[in-house]
Amino acid sequence: MSGLPALRLGHLYPAEMNIYADRGNIAVLRQRLAWRGLALEVTDLEVGDPVEPGAHDLYYLGGGQDRDQQVVAEDLVATKAEGLRAAVDAGAAALCVCGGFQLAGHGYTGTDGHRMPGVGILDLDTVAGPTRLIGNLVIDAEIAGETVRVVGFENHAGRTRLGPGARPLGRVVSGHGNNGDDGFEGGVRDRVIGTYLHGPLLPKNPRLADILIAWALEHRTGEPPVLAPLDDALEVAAHDAAVARALASNGRRPARR
Ligand code: GLN
């Protein structure tokens, strides 16, 4: 091992919010750290568990059906919101995917009209629309000073609108994105990323995985890390194949709805 301390991941609601192979994202983080001689320590943060600011370098909140989100939304606000807000204000990283992206915002009004509160670590709000936005999704993300093409799958009824405190993760190249009409996908502030992209997201988007790892290590050690490059031939081939398939199935322009 490298001598650096383990990166500490707080996995929010692994039992309820795991609908799109969310554990695959965590496996990627663990493996990319292991290849560099670094360890990942995962703490499951379940219903009732508090979030202690400073205890984790990275938080993960995955996707869920409306009914899963209802189970966790009240708990999120009651036991975790304050700690999470303090943690990300102090530079902890977070990746919030799909249902988790919605609950990272101010709230989500589901398909039955039920309003679920969000944790408010991203300035955005979500209301379910009459149809589901489903399909392959390609975006050009502007993140950590780079433009990174990111690909995945989306399946959501929610239409998400960003407030002035969040900027989009990227622009839709092909697919629906946050709401199907403004051309934005995801939301970012500080080291917090929310996105509708899943599938899971990180196996075929290794650059995004390394950006999150670098942010979390910087939180852990106080220094920007130098990450040893990895042989990403397989990951890049998977990425390129997924992008090609998405562009072929959707067309290059954002999908019509
Ligand atoms: N239930 C939410 C929606 O339909 C999120 C779906 C998801 O996480 N896949 O918008």
Question: What is the DSSP code string of 107-145?
Answer: EEE-TTS-EEE---SSSEEEEEEEEEEEEEEEEEEEETT
Provide the annotated active-site residues.
98, 198
- For a ligand 1 pocket test, name from 18, 61, 66 the mutation site with the most ligand atoms within 8 angstroms of its C-beta: 66
Strand partners, 10: 43, 59
Tokens of residue 91, six digits: 């530079």
Compute the C-alpha angle 138/144/145, nearest 5°: 90
Residue 257: the pLDDT is: 46
- For a ligand 1 pocket test, name from 16, 65, 160, 198 the mutation site with the most ligand atoms within 8 angstroms of its C-beta: 65
Q: Give the model confidence (pLDDT) of 30-85 as tens digits.
A: 999 999 999 999 999 999 999 998 999 999 999 999 999 999 999 999 999 999 99
The answer to whether residue 256 scores a pLDDT higher than 70 is no
Model confidence, pTM = 0.96
d(C-alpha 233, C-alpha 210), whole Å: 15
Q: Give the model confidence (pLDDT) of 137-195 as tens digits.
A: 999 999 999 999 999 999 999 999 999 999 999 999 999 999 999 999 999 999 999 99
Q: Give the model confidence (pLDDT) of 102-150 as tens digits.
A: 999 999 999 999 999 999 999 999 999 999 999 999 999 999 999 999 9
Strand 107-109 vs strand 124-143: parallel, antiparallel, or unpaired? parallel
